A and B are shown apart, each in its own frame.
Chain A
Amino acid sequence: SAVISQKPSRDICQRGTSLTIQCQVDSQVTMMFWYRQQPGQSLTLIATANQGSEATYESGFVIDKFPISRPNLTFSTLTVSNMSPEDSSIYLCSVWSGPYEQYFGPGTRLTVT
Chain B
Amino acid sequence: GQQVMQIPQYQHVQEGEDFTTYCNSSTTLSNIQWYKQRPGGHPVFLIQLVKSGEVKKQKRLTFQFGEAKKNSSLHITATQTTDVGTYFCAGRAGGTSYGKLTFGQGTILTVHP
Contacts and interface: CB of A to CB of B under 8 A. Distances in A.
Q: Which of the four size classes fits the interface of chain B?
A: 20 to 34
A86 interface: no
Q: Which of the four size classes fits the interface of chain A?
A: 20 to 34
A24 B43 CA distance: 17
A57 interface: no
A13 interface: no
Nearest to B99: A96
Contacts of A33: 99-100
A48 B98 CA distance: 11
Q: Main secondary structure on chain A at its contact with chain B?
A: strand
Interface string B35-74: 0000001111100100000000000000000000000000
Q: Which of B44, B90, B101, B104 has the most CB of A within 10 A?
A: B101
A31 B103 contact: no
Interface in B91-105: 97-105
A100 B43 CA distance: 15
A76 interface: no
A28 to B, nearest CB: 15
Contacts of A104: 42-44
Given A43-B43, A59-B1, A100 B48 contact: yes
Closest 7 CB pairs of A and B: A96-B99, A100-B48, A104-B42, A101-B45, A43-B103, A42-B103, A42-B105
Nearest to B97: A98
B22 interface: no
Given A45-B100, A45-B101, A102 B45 contact: yes
